[in-house]
Amino acid sequence: MDAIEAIVLGIIQGLTEFLPVSSSGHLELAKTILGDNSVPEESLLFTVVLHFATALSTLVIFRKEVLQIFKGLFQFQWNEETQFSVKIVLSMIPAVFVGLFFEDEIATLFDGQILLVGAMLLVTAVLLLLADKAKDTTKKVSMLNSIIIGISQAIAILPGVSRSGATISTSVLLGIDRTRAAKFSFLMVVPLIVGKVLKDIAGGDISFQSSEIVPLSIGFIAAFASGLLACKWMIALVKRSKLSYFSIYCAIVGLIAIIYSFS
């Protein structure tokens, strides 16, 4: 992988991790178009690095909220920050379950399955359209809602289903305030990304060669920078009920992917 490809994939990851258009789906499409011939271990390493970069950008954007959560935990008080952290943990359970018990089955889906990516992008388009039509409320995330949103996050493991799109849409359809929905969606994935990175490193699933330092570094910087911009942009768009534009985009890309898969 050269520097240009690393930049392209990094920007794609940074933008699509937050914008509701499926980062995994776009990465699979980009790898197919660019002719990525990396062996699975090398491809996994690059994907992990890009995801870690976007997780870091999330922490930077929501650094005040994250500090408040840790402050509440260390004070051992059942306050709003502590309750929020519990909701984050509850939201992780479905994805952790799927990741632990269906890891091999999931891995087969990330092997140039362009038809699946296209179909799931159409599903994402429908979810975003429904969410954009939902009424605005000031409802907060409840314990039960956090589990339901977590289930949507687990489903979004499928390439082509936008994680942020699925979780934000689910939250909005449950009647949760749009700004709170976006914030919860972005924060709930950070522990999962960090956990996945640690698991892959500890399990020896990642191979590394010194020649990969440059493309990995470039990809990381591109994903981190574009992630910062996309996160701020997405919060503003969700608040203004502009998800229908992404619905149209996902529908178009999904149809193109389906047609491309039969070519």
Beta bridge partners of 176: 139
Buried-state track 189-212, b at ≥16 Cβ within 10 A, e below 16: bbbbbeebbeebeeeeebeeeeeb
Question: Which among 48, 144, 59 is positioned nearest to 93, based on CA atoms?
Answer: 144
Q: For residue 208, what is the DSSP state?
A: -
Three-state secondary structure call for residue 158? coil
The pLDDT tens digits for 47-80 are: 778 888 988 999 999 988 888 777 766 766 777 8
Question: Which among 62, 23, 18 is positioned nearest to 187, based on CA atoms?
Answer: 62
Asked whether 157 and 209 are in contact (CB, 8 A), the reply is no
Burial of 99 (0-12, 13-18, 19+ CB in 10 A): middle
| Range 1-11 average pLDDT | 82
| Range 102-115 average pLDDT | 78
What band does 141 get if pLDDT is binned at 50, 70 and 90?
very high
Is the pLDDT assigned to residue 125 strictly greater than 90?
yes
Three-state secondary structure call for residue 135? coil
Asked whether 28 and 159 are in contact (CB, 8 A), the reply is yes
Is the pLDDT assigned to residue 93 strictly greater than 50?
yes
Sign of CA dihedral 79, 85, 86, 88: positive
Most confident of 74-83, 102-111, 121-130: 121-130
**Minimum mean pLDDT range among 104-113, 212-221, 228-237:** 104-113
**pTM value?**
0.83
pLDDT value for 105: 81
Is the pLDDT assigned to residue 160 strictly greater than 80?
yes
CA atoms within 13 Å, Cβ hemisphere of 97: 13
| Range 207-235 average pLDDT | 85
